[in-house]
């Protein structure tokens, strides 16, 4: 018969076995986190590339008519032209400016979601409109992406293009 004390693992063997198990678990966790982070970065780079393609095809400012605006205190303050904003469904954005029925111009904004989440991709169209005949004087199209970060500590990353000049100052001269 063999001695029962020899069949039991020694204290060093027990510690080494637990350490080996812990090492494999730690290695697995590191590999999993690395693969998740790499996937998110690749997805973010892909959607940035797609947004750049959409910007090249449709983005930027297009002027249809140029007008001269009277420098009234309602629309021009400190040399800056300010127009009321109407959301695409007809609502007025109270936070930006109050639209009155007799105002000659307004800004119409519409946002179309291309992708809902992770990352969120959108197309924003801003138009300067003459209220009397509903004629579009100028249009700005911007595409953007938000999100698809491996770890977002403070806020999600963001990319948009093209970086357009000021639409209102492009349409109006003072």
Note whether residue 112 is domain-resident.
yes
Which residue matches tokens 């063999």? 2
In total, how many domains does the chain have? 1
Note whether residue 124 is domain-resident.
yes
Note whether residue 20 is domain-resident.
no
Query: Is pLDDT larger for residue 30 or for residue 57?
Result: 57
148-166: pLDDT as tens digits: 766 667 777 788 888 766 7
Segment among 7-11, 15-19, 65-69 with least mean pLDDT:
7-11
Segment among 3-7, 36-40, 130-134 with least mean pLDDT:
3-7
pLDDT score of 16 more than 70: no
Note whether residue 139 is domain-resident.
yes
Q: What is the pLDDT of residue 143?
A: 93
92-107: pLDDT as tens digits: 555 455 556 677 888 8
pTM beyond 0.75: no
Contact 40, 157 (CB under 8 A): no
Buried b (16+ CB within 10 A) or exposed e, 56-90: eeebebeeeeeeebeeeeebeeeeebebbbbeeee
pLDDT score of 10 more than 80: no
- Report the distance separating Cα 71 and Cα 78, nearest Å: 10
Note whether residue 14 is domain-resident.
no
Structural domain of residue 40, as residue ranges?
A: 25-173
């Amino acid at each position: 018969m063999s001695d029962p004390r020899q069949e039991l693992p020694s204290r060093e063997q027990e510690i080494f076995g637990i350490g080996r198990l812990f090492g494999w678990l730690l290695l697995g966790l590191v590999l999993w986190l690395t693969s998740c982070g790499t996937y998110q970065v690749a997805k973010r780079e892909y959607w940035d590339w797609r947004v750049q393609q959409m910007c090249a095809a449709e983005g930027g400012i297009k002027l249809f008519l140029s007008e001269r605006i009277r420098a009234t205190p309602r629309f021009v303050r400190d040399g800056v032209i300010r127009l009321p904003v109407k959301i695409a469904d007809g609502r007025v954005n109270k936070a930006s400016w109050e639209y009155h029925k007799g105002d000659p111009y307004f800004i119409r904004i519409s946002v179309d979601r291309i992708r809902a989440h992770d990352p969120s991709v959108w197309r924003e169209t801003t138009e300067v409109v003459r209220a009397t005949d509903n004629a579009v004087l100028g249009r700005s199209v911007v595409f953007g992406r938000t999100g698809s970060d491996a770890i977002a500590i403070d806020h999600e990353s963001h990319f948009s293009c093209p970086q357009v000049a000021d639409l209102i100052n492009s349409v109006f001269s003072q």
